């Protein structure tokens, strides 16, 4: 059950990353929420989960998007990795 909830959060974070890649600017509070969620989920890298590194990368991209205009490819790579991780949590 927890894996599915975390998977939904991954899918929502990936959607947010893709929205940012197309130039839309969601509320900063929403972006900050997902930065914190992805950082917390990325903490599992300490247990040896390499896939949690994708969460850290996504959190970094989201955080940087609050202050800088990033190229579109900077959003797509972490977005695809987190999207894949979200889909695999339902398998």
Q: What are the structural domain ranges in the chain?
A: 2-88
CB atoms < 10 A from the CB of 26, how many?
13
Q: What mean pLDDT value characterizes the chain? A: 91
Q: Is 8 left (phi over 0), alpha (psi -120 to 50) or beta?
A: alpha
pLDDT less than 50: residues of the chain: none
What's the confidence (pLDDT) of residue 88? 93
User: And the tokens for 44?
Assistant: 């599992």
What's the confidence (pLDDT) of residue 77? 92
pTM of the model: 0.90
What's the confidence (pLDDT) of residue 49? 81
What's the confidence (pLDDT) of residue 36? 96
The CA distance from 20 to 1, in Å, is: 29
The CA distance from 27 to 69, in Å, is: 15
């Amino acid at each position: 059950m927890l894996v599915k909830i975390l998977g939904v959060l991954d899918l929502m974070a990936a959607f947010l990353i893709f929205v940012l890649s197309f130039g839309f600017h969601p509320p900063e509070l929403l972006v900050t929420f997902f930065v914190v969620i992805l950082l917390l989920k990325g903490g599992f890298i300490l247990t040896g989960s390499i896939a949690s590194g994708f969460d850290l990368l996504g959190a970094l991209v989201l955080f940087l998007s609050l202050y800088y205009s990033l190229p579109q490819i900077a959003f797509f790579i972490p977005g695809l990795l987190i999207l894949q991780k979200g889909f695999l949590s339902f398998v």
